[in-house]
């Protein structure tokens, strides 16, 4: 009996010890974790069963454009803040001889997802991605040619910028056809300074012209190309010439070079429309006199699209090896609706833009695209509104 009692006591002591170990270990594993904090608002981050990817974005330009690249940079901040991933942004500058070596170098490092953007990185990515089949690549505002090799590790994002530009054209024509606004002369002349004569830029212009003509059939649209995305001085020179002709509204379709158009609008005391990001809000704190002339911006929500892409990557639903084309319906593009837009643009004009947007969303209005128009058709469209 004594042996039995000793055995029972030993078993009880063993169970107590095991219970104590369990209660000590569990909190330590939870509170002592060094893993990145997960965002409660992110479905991807809530997937505790998967490691968070390490993400890098290579920008073939520089930050400070207050539009395209700044929006991509903000997207990386969202990925870090809302998902918890480790992120890095690398400015490669405008020397295109450095782009491919940089992409190769980064591909040799321990990043899980490598992000690049614009048509200028398309062929480079087509050469590099097949060399690293275990890496994942995302290209935004362009698409690789999947027939050029084994590119099943590349996800391409393109935008229906023509849809948002349609609304911008309708707004610009409405503004330019009235004398009720202080910086409009009522001459029904609007303008655009474009970076380069390439399909993605001409897609902006196709929508811009169509939207303007649908609202003001006899509108004229002056269009000039910088043939560069960094030459602000030339963009300003071209825009000043357009404003001297009588344009009341100029559309920046030239990325960083387009800051020259915005400067020209300030010099000429006319209105401007920004591009890619909300350029009025980005300038309001440092340059309020210029910001108040930027009545809206055509938004490419690159930041939100990159966040969406990484969330889908984590969830395992990102369509590598395919192209996604995102527009107004997917909230990937649109017009900036901010305090300047609301204070400068009359309610009737804003209501018209809402009506036109609804028609695009429900398929009632099909917006012209430079990607589907033949070159001669696009040229005919431009010539139909030439001043």
For the beta carbon of residue 84, count every other beta carbon within 10 angstroms: 17
Main-chain dihedrals φ then ψ at residue 338, nearest 5 degrees: -120, -170
Question: In the beta sheet, which residues pair with residue 365?
Answer: none
Question: What is the b/e burial string over 185-199, where b = at least 16 CB atoms within 10 angstroms of the residue's CB?
Answer: eebbbbbbbbbbeeb
What proportion of the chain, given as a percentage, has pLDDT over 70? 87
For the beta carbon of residue 171, count every other beta carbon within 10 angstroms: 29
CA distance 180 to 183: 9
pLDDT digits (tens, 9 = 90+) for 120-160: 999 999 999 999 999 999 999 999 999 999 999 999 999 99
> Please, which pLDDT band fits residue 68 given cuts at 50, 70 and 90?
confident
Q: Which two tokens stand for residue 15?
A: 């169970």
CA distance 61 to 241: 27
Average pLDDT for residues 362-372, to the nearest whole number? 96
pLDDT at 66: 79
Q: Which two tokens stand for residue 129?
A: 């991605």
Residues 6+ apart with CB under 8 A from 260: 193, 231, 232, 233, 234, 235, 236, 237, 238, 239, 254
CA distance 295 to 304: 22
What proportion of the chain, given as a percentage, has pLDDT over 90? 84
- Does residue 98 or residue 13 have the better pLDDT? 98
Q: Please check the confidence at residue 325 and state whether its pLDDT lies above 80.
A: yes
Q: Beta strand pairing status for 220-225 and 189-194?
A: parallel
Q: Please check the confidence at residue 28 and state whether its pLDDT lies above 80.
A: no
CA distance 387 to 315: 52
Average pLDDT for residues 169-180, to the nearest whole number? 98
pLDDT digits (tens, 9 = 90+) for 235-283: 999 999 999 999 999 999 999 999 999 999 999 999 999 999 899 999 9
pLDDT at 48: 41
CB 298 within 8 A of CB 161: yes
pLDDT at 273: 98
CB 195 within 8 A of CB 228: yes
Q: Please check the confidence at residue 18 and state whether its pLDDT lies above 90.
A: no
pLDDT at 318: 97
CA distance 323 to 75: 19
pLDDT digits (tens, 9 = 90+) for 175-231: 999 999 999 999 999 999 999 999 999 999 999 999 999 999 999 999 999 999 999
Q: Which domains are delineated in the chain?
A: 55-159 (3.40.50.2300), 161-300+333-383 (3.40.50.2300)
Question: In the beta sheet, which residues pair with residue 117?
Answer: 140
Main-chain dihedrals φ then ψ at residue 377, nearest 5 degrees: -70, -40
Q: Among residues 162, 253, 205, 188, which one has the least CA distance to residue 380?
A: 205
Q: Which two tokens stand for residue 230?
A: 């960094």
For the beta carbon of residue 175, count every other beta carbon within 10 angstroms: 26
End-to-end CA distance of the chain: 111
CA distance 62 to 175: 33
3-state class of 158 per DSSP? strand
C-alpha angle 225-385-191 in degrees, rounded to nearest 5: 45
pLDDT at 249: 98
- Entry pTM: 0.80
How far, rounded to the nearest angstrom, does the alpha carbon of residue 304 sit from its chain's CA centroid? 7
Helical H segments across 246-374, by residue range: 259-268, 279-284, 288-291, 302-315, 339-344, 347-361
> Please, which pLDDT band fits residue 50 given cuts at 50, 70 and 90?
low
| Consecutive H or E run containing 138 | strand 136-140
Q: Which two tokens stand for residue 320?
A: 């590598």
- Output the furthest CA–CA distance in the chain (Å, rounded): 112
> Please, which pLDDT band fits residue 13 given cuts at 50, 70 and 90?
very low
- Does residue 93 or residue 35 have the better pLDDT? 93
């Amino acid at each position: 009996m004594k042996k039995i009692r000793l055995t029972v006591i030993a078993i009880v002591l063993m169970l107590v010890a095991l219970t104590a170990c369990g209660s000590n270990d569990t909190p330590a594993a939870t509170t002592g974790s060094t893993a990145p904090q997960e965002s409660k608002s992110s479905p991807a981050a809530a997937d505790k069963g998967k490691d968070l990817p390490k993400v890098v974005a290579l920008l073939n330009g520089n930050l400070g454009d207050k539009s395209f690249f700044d929006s991509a940079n903000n997207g990386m901040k969202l990925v870090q803040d809302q998902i918890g991933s480790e992120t890095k942004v690398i400015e490669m500058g405008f020397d295109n001889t450095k782009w491919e070596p940089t992409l190769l170098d980064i591909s040799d490092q321990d990043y899980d997802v490598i992000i690049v953007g614009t048509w200028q990185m398309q062929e480079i990515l087509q050469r590099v991605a097949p060399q690293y089949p275990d890496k994942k690549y995302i290209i935004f505002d362009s698409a690789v040619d999947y027939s050029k090799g084994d590119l099943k590790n590349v996800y391409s994002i393109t935008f229906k910028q023509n849809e948002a530009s349609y609304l911008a054209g309708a707004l610009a024509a409405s503004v330019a056809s009235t004398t009720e606004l202080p910086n409009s002369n009522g001459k029904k002349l609007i303008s655009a300074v474009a970076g380069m004569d390439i399909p993605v830029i001409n897609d902006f212009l196709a929508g811009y012209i169509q939207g303007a003509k649908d609202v003001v059939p006899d509108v004229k649209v002056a269009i000039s190309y910088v043939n560069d995305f960094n030459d602000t001085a030339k963009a300003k020179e071209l825009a000043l010439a357009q404003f001297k002709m009588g344009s009341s509204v100029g559309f920046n379709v030239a990325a960083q070079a387009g800051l020259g158009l915005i400067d020209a609008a300030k010099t000429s005391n006319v209105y401007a429309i920004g591009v890619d990001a909300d350029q009025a809000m980005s300038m309001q704190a440092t340059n309020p006199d210029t910001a108040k002339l930027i009545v809206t911006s055509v938004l490419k929500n690159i930041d939100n699209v990159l966040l969406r892409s990484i969330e889908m990557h984590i969830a395992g639903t990102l369509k590598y090896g395919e192209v996604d084309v995102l527009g107004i319906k997917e909230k990937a593009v649109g017009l900036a609706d901010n305090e300047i837009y609301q204070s400068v643009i009359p309610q009737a004009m804003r209501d018209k833009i809402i009506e036109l947007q609804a028609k695009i969303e429900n398929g009632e209005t099909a917006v012209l695209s430079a990607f589907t128009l033949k070159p001669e058709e696009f040229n005919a469209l431009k010539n139909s509104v030439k001043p």
